Amino acid sequence: MGVAKLKPPSGRYLKEASLPQGFDINWIAVLLVGGVGLGAVAGMFVASYILAPKRPSEIKDTPYECGIPPAPFVWSQIQIRYYVFAILFIIFDVEAVFLFPWAVVFLKAPPAVFYEMLIFIGILFFGVIYGWRKGVLQWR
């Protein structure tokens, strides 16, 4: 008894030869799901535009402030100190993004990776010292 050879299915399936060179067939699923998702979002926007009632009024343009009459518009500046602390938070948040993966592979990584991270942390440390000396971290 011989082993029966199975023929590859034809017709319904994409053949490797019909795809561009270097194209992985798994990307078709990703593109399909992405297209369906974008189509659903676009469909919701179109349905909202078509089905929503269009009765503009002045009361709809006023902001809702917890049931009390809205206060008159008052322009106030945000102090620069808030921006400085926000930027510092972002900088150290990005540092954490780089530090956590490095800490996971620390023992398996070559010594050069340790020195690169040491330089990175050193630059951030000297930046904090510089800001501290300039008085950026003081709340006046």
Position 129 in a domain? yes
CA 11 to each of CA 6, 18, 26, 29: distance values in angstroms, whole numbers, following the listed order? 16, 12, 19, 19
Q: What is the residue-level pLDDT of the chain in tens, covering all 140 positions?
A: 566 666 655 555 555 556 666 667 788 889 999 999 999 999 999 999 999 888 888 877 777 777 777 777 777 777 777 888 888 889 888 888 988 888 888 888 898 989 999 999 999 899 889 888 988 878 77
56 located within any domain: no
- Asked if residue 9 belongs to a domain, the reply is no
Q: What is the span of the domain harbouring residue 119?
A: 80-134
In a domain, 66, yes or no: no
Identify the pLDDT of residue 15: 54
Q: What is the dihedral of CA 55, 59, 60, 64, to 10 degrees?
A: -160
In-domain check, residue 115: yes
pTM: 0.43
Give 74's strand partners.
none
Which residues touch 65 (CB under 8 Å, ≥6 apart)?
Answer: 71
Structurally, the chain folds into a number of domains equal to 1
Copy the structure tokens of residue 1.
Answer: 């008894």
Helical H runs in 17-110? 26-51, 80-104
Asked whether the beta carbons of 99 and 107 are under 8 A apart, the reply is no
